Structure 1
Amino acid sequence: MLPIIAALGLISTAAAHGTVNAIVVDGTYYQGYNPSYQYITPAPVTVGWKIPQDLGNTFIPPDSYGSPDIICHLGATNAMTAAATKGGSKINLQWTPWPVSHKGPVIDYLANCNGPCETVDKASLKWFKISAVGLIDNSMSNGYWATDQLIKNNNTWTVQIPTSIATGNYVLRHEIIGLHAAGQPNGAQNYPQCVNLAITSSGTDNPAGVPATSFYKATDPGIKFDLYSAFTSYTIPGPAKYSGALSVSQTMPAPPAATATGVYSV
């Protein structure tokens, strides 16, 4: 897990959207990855996958859905450690400030690394969907979306690990899709973020999953979508949700009770 790193105070805190800067698992805080960490020696050890090319907090467009960048973001490489997690654990993912204009769904996937996630080939990961929230209320202009709920809860989203999956080392792929320009071709904006989890569980399921490069097509109704039209519904893109997925209420999370130290795996 993570050391407490005094050098974090040197990193710019300028507001920007696009990255998960921390996660909290059952009250324990784990540092996520910040692209600025590439300028720190030694670099912080984080549960978040490294995306040093994402200095501009950019996105993955539909014409890159077949690229490895859609897996865990731009040029992503493996995280160096994992967060200790249990089947049934609730994970709060803390985003950098998210713009209210960037409305869209929040989607979560898991992939079993079948070994250490610190060295797994990301292209070999097979993902199954454990959470997906899109349009919550269409009674207001442009709708009330999962991203609006995330902003309301201090830029935080909660996902619960299924109790039915087997013990193992997993990558959690957490993603926002911004729809503010999705009415035009190649306009959707995908912001995938990955973190390593070492999950202990009484379950036995090993869902098959699919590669992230097969999740979406540019013509999917949840990708090519006019946010400013008179819509009444929204179809969340990607594969069907895993049968053992758990729903969780999105509420303001409590402050973390502890900060992780050391390195953990199962």
Structure 2
Amino acid sequence: MGIKRISPVVAALASAATVAAHGHVDHIVIDGLFYQGYDPTSFPYQQNPPTVVGWTTSQTDNGFVEPNSFGSPDIICHKSATPAGGHAQVKAGDSISISWNTWPESHKGPMIDYLAACNGPCESVDKESLEFFKIDEVGLIDDSAQNGFWGSDELIKNNNTWLVQIPSNIKPGNYVLRHETIALHSAGQANGAQAYPQCFNLEITGDGTEVPAGVLGTKLYSAEDPGIVVNIYTTGLTYTIPGPALIAGASASVPQSSSAITATGTATVGNGAEAEPTNPPAATTTAAQSSAAQTTAAPSTQKTSTAAVSTPTTLATSTRVAAPTTPTTTAVATPTAAPTGAVGAQTLYGQCGGNGFAGPTACAEGTCKSWNPYYSQCVNTA
């Protein structure tokens, strides 16, 4: 069901009604600086969208890349992705806090992060030439929980925020950070997994010397990989995280926490000079003050199917701050989605049935499709 572009305002409001189920990265935080990500639900309707560090994509419905497209350029940085117009600077050994606007609990799966050297400005790089090496991964943490406790559950637990460390041995230069979750709620059948890659331009500084060998984005996964075709609704599951192995010098993951926002960073365009922070907007200041008021929470013990979580080196980002008890880290307000049809109907791609499900079973758009006894989803009829 297409959106008629009567006006940017009408189009944006119509789009907002279909984006509740999935999410996108709203912003990243580096050493206290807030950097806006690309918002696929509003930027396409703006005459002059801001220059940001997040790559442009066409998934205005917060959609996904399905396994039968894993060999296409869409899997690299999402659908029809083009390089971000600017970049952010981070020192090797420091961490980046990556904040999603939302994420549904039913969409369980791994959290995975990659880097790829641009060998020049990332703003003009050919995405199909990028060779990605893995720096972070968390899959199935606890298989004793109902349907398992996954990396995505850790994301939600940490206020929809994921902390990833840039390995200290990475050589200075321009890199693309590819951050991804793969939803496995329908992965028990062919072409059922859902990939949500998100990309950002970085300038990495420091005294590292390594540019590890990588893999082309279109070669990272196949539709038949065991981590892509898997029934997560079983007990005693052993999960294999898809993609290449972690590089030397990378930890499986760092203890998850939120970074305090102290100022707004401006995406750097061109020569890679460090962006000058500006005074944060009111929403950012509120988020920073709220975060700063928290105390450090002990990180949960994580068990992945491939590697134990190691203790990270000292991080330069503000990992002293625990995740807020209310969603205050998102500095940019996101419109509340409303169903386009009957009151109380589920939005497109939302859950509409399954054992134990108590939510709406009627779809405001599309039809309710049963993927398995545990999960039904509103999908497009086209």
Above 0.5 in TM-score? yes
* 2:154 alignment partner, SS class: helix
Q: Report whether the alignment pairs 1:178 with 2:178.
A: no
What is residue 112 of structure 1 aligned with on the other side?
A: 117
TM-aligned CA deviation for residue 248 of structure 1: 4.3
1:104-161 deviations in Å (ceiling 9; x for gaps):
0000000000000000000000010000100000111111000000001000000000
Task: Return the alpha-carbon distance in structure 1 between the equivalents of residues 267 and 31 of structure 2.
Answer: 17
What is residue 27 of structure 1 aligned with on the other side?
A: 32
Superposition pairs of residues 110-149 of structure 1, within 5 angstroms: 110-149=115-154
What is residue 222 of structure 2 aligned with on the other side?
A: 217
The question of whether the paired residues in 1 share the 8 Å contact of 2:91 and 2:204 is answered with yes
* 1:34 alignment partner, SS class: coil
What is residue 94 of structure 1 aligned with on the other side?
A: 99
Q: 2:209 aligns with which of 204, 207, 220?
A: 204
Instruction: Tell me the TM-score normalised to structure 1 length.
Output: 0.92
Same amino acid, percent of matched pairs = 55
Aligned length: 255
Superposition pairs of residues 1-266 of structure 1, within 5 angstroms: 15-35=20-40, 36-51=42-57, 53-261=58-266, 263=268, 265=272
Task: Return the alpha-carbon distance in structure 1 between the equivalents of residues 142 and 214 of structure 2.
Answer: 30
Aligned partner letter, 2:69? S
TM-aligned CA deviation for residue 247 of structure 1: 4.6
Task: Return the alpha-carbon distance in structure 2 between the equivalents of residues 188 and 81 of structure 1.
Answer: 31
Task: Return the alpha-carbon distance in structure 1 between the equivalents of residues 236 and 217 of structure 2.
Answer: 28
* 1:24 alignment partner, SS class: strand
Task: Return the alpha-carbon distance in structure 2 between the equivalents of residues 218 and 262 of structure 1.
Answer: 35
Task: Return the alpha-carbon distance in structure 2 between the equivalents of residues 219 and 75 of structure 1.
Answer: 23
Task: Return the alpha-carbon distance in structure 2 between the equivalents of residues 247 and 208 of structure 1.
Answer: 18
List alignment gaps of at least 5 residues for structure 2. 1-11, 274-382
* 1:70 alignment partner, SS class: helix
1:233-253 deviations in Å (ceiling 9; x for gaps):
210011111112135433331
Moved more, 140-149 or 245-254: 245-254
Task: Return the alpha-carbon distance in structure 2 between the equivalents of residues 242 and 170 of structure 1.
Answer: 15
Task: Return the alpha-carbon distance in structure 2 between the equivalents of residues 262 and 116 of structure 1.
Answer: 13
**Max radius of gyration: which structure?**
2
Task: Return the alpha-carbon distance in structure 1 between the equivalents of residues 100 and 111 of structure 2.
Answer: 12
Aligned partner letter, 2:262? A
Q: CA RMSD in A?
A: 1.5
Task: Return the alpha-carbon distance in structure 1 between the equivalents of residues 267 and 129 of structure 2.
Answer: 28
Task: Return the alpha-carbon distance in structure 1 between the equivalents of residues 43 and 66 of structure 2.
Answer: 25
TM-aligned CA deviation for residue 262 of structure 1: 5.6
1:80-125 deviations in Å (ceiling 9; x for gaps):
0001111011101101210000000000000000000000000000
List alignment gaps of at least 5 residues for structure 1. 1-10
Task: Return the alpha-carbon distance in structure 2 between the equivalents of residues 150 and 131 of structure 1.
Answer: 14
Task: Return the alpha-carbon distance in structure 1 between the equivalents of residues 230 and 236 of structure 2.
Answer: 9
TM-aligned CA deviation for residue 30 of structure 1: 0.1
Per chain length, whose mean CA-contact separation is higher, i.e. which structure has more relative contact order (CA < 8 Å, sep 6+)? Answer: 1
What is residue 5 of structure 1 aligned with on the other side?
A: none
Aligned partner letter, 1:40? Q
